[in-house]
Structure formats: C-alpha cells, structure tokens
Structure 1
Amino acid sequence: MPRRPLARLASALGAGALLLAGCANPSTGSADDDPTKPVTLTFWHGWSEKNEVKAINDSIARFEKLHPNITVKSVGNVTDETINQALRAGGGDAPDVVTSFTTNNVGQYCSSGMWVDLDPFMEKTGLDKKKVFPKTLLDYTSYQGKQCALPLLADAYGMYYNKDAFKEAGIERPPRTMSELKRDAAKLTRRTKGGGLERVGFMPNFRLYQNSPDRLFAQWGPAYFDKDGKARLAKEGKIKAFYATVRDLIREQGGYGALETFRTSFGDEFSSQNAFLTGKLAMHLDGEWRGLFLKDAKFDWGTAPLPVPDDQADTYGRGFLTGTVTGIAHSSKHQNAAWELVRFLTADTDQVVAFANAIHNVPSTKAALTSPKLDPDPAFRAFLDIAQNKYSNALPPSVNGGQYVVSLRDFSYGVEAGKVHDLDKGLKELDDQIDADILQAQD
C-alpha cells in the first residue's frame, strides 16, 4: 500500500501529544460481553485508496459470513489523531477496533492504556502468538511486555534496480555490500554534456521519497536504546560507519549540492514522474508496494535486498520492517466480539493472504508468508524473503512514539549537508535530546 510515512509521522506525533496529555483516565470498557450474541462493532482504519477500501470491505464481508451475529461498521481514512481524540473522549461514538500505520506509536498505545492488552484474549482463545507471528513483528506491536496490538500486514524495504542500466554499465547483479553499492552507484551515475546529472546510481539523500535515515541505517542492525531505555546513538559505533557510507555515496556521485539540485527536478513519489520510473535513479530504496506503480515502466526492473556493511556480509537479505497494527479500544464495551474481528484479520491464514494479495503488502503471519496462494510475482517474493530474514529489524517502540525518529532525521539532514563538524559531540547532544523528550512524555 502506498504510504507517506513522514507526513503520517508528523500527524501521529501531534496525536501522541494529545494522547499523553489526556490518558490519565481513559474510558473503561468491558470484556464481559458474549461474542455469540448480536452486536455491532465500529472499526476505524486509515485505508482510503479505492482498491484498499474494497479489500478491507471484502475482508469484513468474509468475517461477517463466519460470524453472522456480528455486524461491522467500517470507517476509513481515519488518522491516529482522530482515533486518539475519540478514545480519550470515550462514549458511544468511540470505535471498538482501531488500526494505525505508525508502529512507532505502539509504545504510546500500550503505556497509556488506550489499547487493551491482547494477551488475555489470545490465552483464552488458544492463539499462540509466538507460533503465529514473526518475532520482529511481535516486537513492534508490544511495549514493555504488553501486547496491545497485533500486526495487520507488513511493509518490507528493499532495493529496486534498473536492469537495463545495469546491463549498459556491465554490472551483472545487484550490490550486496556497501562497498559494492558505492562502486556500482558511481558506474551507474550519468552526467549531461554540461556537467549536470542525468541519472544517479543510488541517491542516499534523506529528503528523497522513502529515504528516512532509519531505513538505510537498519542495514547495520543498530541499537537505539540501552537496557534502561536511554538513547545510545553516541555509543553506537555503527552510526559512524553509516554516515561515512552516506557521505562517500554523496561525494562519488557529484556532491551534496548537485544531488539536492537534481532531487528538486523529480516528480511526486506517487506520480508518473517518480524519479525511478522516469530513469533518473538506477537503484532505489522502497517498499514492496512500489511494484504496483511500475507496471508501465519502459525498462526492465528487478528487486533485491539492500546491501549490508562489508563486515556484516552474512546478514545480506535483511531489511527494514514496519506495517499496519491493529488493536481493541480500551473504551469498547464489546471487547470479546472485537477480539474475534482482530483475530480474524490478523491470524486467519486465508484472510491474511487474500488481503496481502489485494493491496500488495507483505503477509504478517508465518503461515501466510509461506502460503502457495500468495502472489507469485518474483519481484514481490524478494520482499517476502526480507520479511522472513532473521536479521531484518524494526524501530523499537517508545513512550512518545516516533519523536526520536524525527530527531534522528533532523540531525541526519545536517550530517549529509556537511553542517555537523563534530559528529561525536552532535550524537551526544542527540542522545540528550531524545532522553529529555522521553522524560517529558513520562511526566
């Protein structure tokens, strides 16, 4: 599914402030309802594209056929902010089942009590979460031991590459290590007669489309926080290697100024003028849904995992994972019935496969990931492998959502532009800022 993560993140952070400010007395619902009795559930989600809405409505129809006593009222295109305001207010207008595209906010959902702990529901209905869901997906749907959400499809990030450009440059396969990436990016970069850029091998600039720094940094397998929850980026040696790689890529392809000027010539990410689609990028970091937008590409293209650091070559195949999460509102008076819907959407293999095929997302259960009913498209299969790779990772949840990701992004803008002259000092200040933001959120 196409996402605009940074815009969603900014909205979610605003919602987080509202949530934390108003979570002292969340409305109390009930788990005493009989899920076999007639009931109407309200389901709020964020999907809005025509094919996405059809897919979720088809999913609900399948659920209602299995549970004829439960009617689901579906409301789409709902933001985290709207959901959080409704959950704070409680009452009859609040939803029973909710979803979010922002996994970073799971720490808020769990710690605030606005999303109920799902472990008791799984226990009484016999769902073994460790057998059903991949570990990384369970990690990003829980916080401090509380499983207040479950994954509802996932997104995996990898590399799209222009096979025609590779053939022209004499490159036989996608790069697997960062040194190969730098070498190939330089070979694939093509300049105009006037010295400007016509095509870039791999643009690392953090303002480009999906290039939030955490996504490429994931290839190093970083640890953002220590066991006490304190930011540790200044102590994370991998971040220096990450920034060094980014600076090398920038330098070898014309410099930051030239790349930024070239980037401003790109069309909108979700338009026919996307820079990869128009041949201005030979390699590109993106999610599994991008293939839906490349059906009319005038060149041969393929997918592969993103390269990994040379000293971690054995982890090749890994990638950054995120996705949609769903849970039960604390204020719901029909939590057992709501759990039946959550369980169906997240753990029923045929349902997960059908939904994944419909919106071209990665399935979020172990059984669905290996189902023969999955889309056979080999370009899509590359992302299924990334999702199952034991080294793939996701961002850790935090009590104030993705604020630390925004802080990292803003800091990274300065690094790539050459404005951070003392990296050690800058990283220490970044850690202090992240810790202060978290402390403020806990007050």
Structure 2
Amino acid sequence: MFSPKRAGGGIAAALVLLLAAGCANPGVGSDRDDPTKPVTLRFWHGWSATGEVKAIDDSIRRFEELHPNIHVKAIGNVSDETTNQALRAGGEDAPDVVSSFTTNNVGQYCDSGMWTDLDPFMQKTGLDKHKVFPKTLLEYSSYEGKQCALPLLADAYGMYYNKDAFEEAGIARPPRTMSELVRDAKKLTKRTADGGYERVGFMPNFRMYQNSPDRLFAQWGPTYFDGKGKSRLAAEKTVPEFFRTTDALMKAQGGYASLEKFRTTFGDEMSSQNAFLTGKLAMHMDGEWRGLMLDEAKAEFRWGTAPLPVPDDRPETYGRGFLTGTVVGIAHSSRHQNAAWELVKFLTSDTKQVVRFANAIHNVPSTNAALKSPGLDADRSFRTFLDIARNPYSTALPPSTNGGSYLVSLRDFAYNVEAGKVPDLRAGLRALDAQIDADTLQSKS
C-alpha cells in the first residue's frame, strides 16, 4: 500500500534504484526446494508505523499457523534502495520475499531479473491471476508480459470535501466535471481583507502534499508510452487539456503566485496542521487512508468523499481515479523460492487474509473476492475508494524500465508549466519526451 508518510521518499528511492539497476547481476536462486521441509524465510518490507507493523506481524503469525514448517523472519522499514543493494550482493542474509511501495519500479524489478517471474508458480499451484486480481493491479505489478510481482493491497485517490463549506457556498454536491470543479473552487475560495486567503476551494499546485501531476492527470486516462516504449507525451492530446484545467483552477482562485504563497503556510501533511483538517482547503485530493486520520483527529467539520471530477467531454468515466499500491515478490537469489511462494500466495490471494490486512491498515483490498467480501470494514467514506478501485476506467502508472525517472521529469516540467515558464507547451513536451527516452536508454546500458 502507499502510505503518505513515505510519499516524499518514493521518487528519490526510484532514482537511486535506477542508477544501480543498469548493471544488476542478480544471484541465481532455486525453485527446487521442498516447501514442506523446515525453513526460515527472510521477508523485507517497508511498513514502519506501530499499527502497520502489528498488522503485518499478525499476518505472518496466521501464515505460520497454516505452515508450521516455515518460519518467517520479517524486517520492516526497509527502502527500495536497501533491498536492491542486498539483492545485488546476494548471500545468506539477502531477503527471500521482498515488497515495495513504489510500483514505478516494477519495470526495473522485472527487466533486471532481480525479482523472479511468478507465472510458473501460479501455474504450478493453480492460481488464476486474471480471476483473482483486478486488471489494473495486475498491469502495475508486471512488465512486458513478466509477472515478477503481485499486488498486496492498493491505494485509490479521490476527493475529500468539507460539507459545511459546501453548504455555506450553496453547493449541493461535489463537482463531477472539470468545469464544475473550477466553478465550485471559485465559489468556495474565501479571501482576507489584505488580499490573502482564509480558504482555497481546491489547491491545484503540484508541490502540495499528494498533488503529484500524474495523479490528477489520471482523470484523463493518458497514454505515456507507445508500443515501442518511447515517451509520447507530446502526441498525447489530453496533456494540453490537463494543463489548461490546472491553469483555469489557479486563475479562478487568484493565480499561481498567490496560491503558492498560501501553500507555504500549510502545516505538515501528516500533522494536526494538515491544510484540509484545519479548514484551509474546501476540497482535497487524497487517498483512502485520510478518512481514518480525519476520524482520529476528530475533524471539527462534516466531511465527505467522492471521486475526482473528469473532463467535460467524458462524463461516462466519472467514478474513475488513480490507483497504486504495494507490490510483493520473490528474490531471484532466494534458494527457497517454493516456500517463498507459499508466503506470497497467502499474503496476496487468501481472501480472509487480504480482508483482515486491509481492515487493519485501512487500505483498499487487492483481490476481486476481497473487494466484495462482507467482512470488509467499509464505512460510507471508505466505500468511495472501493468503488474507484473497481471502476473500469481507473488507471495506474505504466511500469517502465527507467523506474520513476520519467515521473520526476514530468513533475519538474509541470512545476515550470504552472509557474508560466514554458512559453511553448508542444516544444516543451517534445523536449520532455527526448529526456525520458534518453533516461530509458541510460537505464538499459
């Protein structure tokens, strides 16, 4: 799952991983082990918060009860960079089972061979991945036909909105189209006497919290790469539409400079001074975890959730959203791959386990059966995100062998666009495509 407190490090970790992946020479493990024999597996994961660690430890305890011959030694709070270094080094202390919060890196995991192909294990044990997992989640856990990872809970992005502010502004429901978003954001924005802000309707600026440009851009359903893996953002007709919309949002609420100045007054995303929690934002893009945090913080206003708006000419896609999540796989260097598969299979495909884990850390379940399970703790606000995860128009980022490098390039480009530093958008996009393609070539050298 994607935990917000790890958001800042995800892209940085992707870049470090990118530098190392090009010369990877993963150790050769074994898929000839007997999974019924006594064995100790090393499982490295990134969860670090007390409740999260307890949830994964409880999951391991349940697995060991079903497989008394397999002992799992779990190590948490491990970054992608650390895992990658260990897999490159190999040896007895390297992990057997690995997980990552950064789906952007799946292309590297598969392409480098450091994470083993799971299709033979699924075929051998009769797990039909197309029946078990939603299509979009399978897509972000594979690369060029190689299923080197499986989804382990998911995150869906939608809108949180302040019902009291909506009532005050005379707005009956959350916006469903981008033009409605611009209109409502303007109505909900409250200025101060000195020209500042008391509240912004919807902050579009890309440096704020979860506002990485790719997440809102998902509402257009863009295609990042062509069939040959080359960047095609300059040819993507939705890119200008996307930037026109964010520009309209900024102009309707006072302009980029004023909004950016107000953004710098926001408290830390994970603190009690979060801008939505303190009433500085009337609408806010965020993931499913935010609802639990609002409840725990005892927000002083009524709030609700809804899908993010969609382009005006695609109203049938309303309900869609951006999806990401945790992926888990087996190290190619593991000499206990059949035993490791038993753990991966349990964590990712056992319906009862997936539901219990999702309930424990308030993430979206990652199997079709778990999404429909009556055991799922699905309050009304959380159901919004379950519906987004099920929506056939919802999208995830395409995996690439250059990991998250193309997203870093897109993000930096978007910073310049919103600040008015890109006079010719098409020319800028052509240069962006060239940069992304060069990074891809570099990652393969």
**2:408 corresponds to 1:410:** no
Q: Look up the SS of the partner of 1:16 in the other structure.
A: helix
What are the within-5 Å matches in structure 2 for residues 364-403 of structure 1?
Answer: 364-403=366-405
The secondary structure found in structure 1 opposite 2:314 is helix
Is this contact kept in 1: 2:14–2:104, CA < 8 A?
Answer: no
CA distance in 2, matches of 1:16, 1:52: 28
CA contact (8 A) 1:118 1:148 kept: yes
Runs of 5+ consecutive residues of structure 1 not aligned to the other structure: none
- Distance in 2, matches of 1:170 and 1:4, equals 37
> 5 Å matches for 1:166-315?
166-295=166-295, 296-315=298-317
Amino acid at match of 2:43: F
Moved over 6 A (4+): none
Distance (whole Å) between structure 2 residues aligned to residue 216 and residue 201 of structure 1: 16
Question: Is the partner of 2:313 in helix, strand or coil?
Answer: helix
* Distance (whole Å) between structure 1 residues aligned to residue 204 and residue 237 of structure 2: 20
Q: Equivalents in 2 of 1:68, 1:16: separation in Å?
A: 38
Paired with 1:308 and 1:4, the residues of 2 have a C-alpha distance of 28
Report what 1:350 is aligned to: 352
Deviation of 1:11 after TM superposition, in Å, equals 1.7
On the 8 A contact 1:16/1:81 being kept in 2, the answer is: no
d(CA) in 2 for partners of 1:76 and 1:358? 17
**Partner SS, residue 233 of structure 1:** coil
Matched position secondary structure for 1:159: strand
Aligned equivalents of 1:85 and 1:319: distance in 2?
A: 34
In 2, Cα distance between the equivalents of 1:96 and 1:7? 24
Contact 1:48 1:76 in 2 (8 A): yes
Contact 2:31 / 2:337 at 8 angstroms: preserved in 1?
yes
CA offset digits 1:133-185 (Å, max 9, x no partner): 00000000000000000000000000000000000000000000000000000
**Contact 1:267–1:275 at 8 Å: present in 2 too?**
yes
Distance 1:33 1:163 in 2: 57
Equivalent in the alignment of 2:365: 363
In the alignment, which residue of structure 1 is the partner of 2:98? Answer: 98
Structure 1 segment 42-53 matched on structure 2, within 5 A: 42-53=42-53
Distance 2:277 2:331 in 1: 41
Structure 2 residue aligned with 1:129: 129
Query: Aligned letter for 1:213?
Result: P
User: Where in structure 2 are the equivalents of 1:18-37 lying within 5 Å?
Assistant: 18-21=20-23, 23=24, 25-37=25-37
Q: How many residue pairs are counted as aligned between the two chains?
A: 441
Alignment RMSD: 0.7
Structure-2 separation of matches of 1:412 and 1:33: 49
Opposite residue 18 of structure 1, the aligned amino acid is A
Alpha-carbon displacement from aligned partner over 1:328-358 (angstroms, at most 9, x marks no partner): 0001000000000000000000000000000
Segments of structure 2 that go 5 or more residues without pairing to the other structure are none
8 A Cα contact 2:5 2:270, kept in partner: no
* 8 Å contact kept, 2:165–2:188: yes
CA contact (8 A) 1:305 1:382 kept: yes
Distance in 2 of aligned mates of 1:239 and 1:8: 24
Length-normalised TM-score, structure 2: 0.98
Matches of 1:193 and 1:375, distance apart in 2 = 45
- Counterpart AA for 1:422: D
Shift of 1:8: 1.8
SS at match of 1:379: helix
Aligned with 1:120: secondary structure? helix
How far apart, in 2, do the equivalents of 1:12 and 1:80 lie? 7
**What's 2:79 paired with?**
79
For 1:111, the equivalent position in structure 2 comes to 111
Aligned match of 2:64: 64
Q: 1:129 to 1:3 in 2, by over 3 A?
A: farther
Q: Which amino acid aligns with 1:392?
A: S
Cα deviations by residue, 1:360-386 (Å, 9 ceiling, x for unpaired): 000000000010111131111100000
Secondary structure at 1:231's aligned position in 2?
coil
- Give the corresponding residue for 1:140: 140
AA of the residue aligned to 1:72: V
Taking the aligned partners of 1:293 and 1:314, their CA distance within structure 2 comes to 31
Amino acid of the structure 2 residue aligned with 1:326: V
- Kept in 2: contact 1:19–1:85 (CA 8 A): no
Identity %: 74
Distance 1:429 1:293 in 2: 41
Match of 1:16 among 18, 38, 57: 18
Post-superposition offset of 1:2: 3.1
State the partner residue of 1:317: 319
Looking at structure 2, the residues matched to 404 and 343 of structure 1 have their Cα atoms a distance apart, in angstroms, of 31
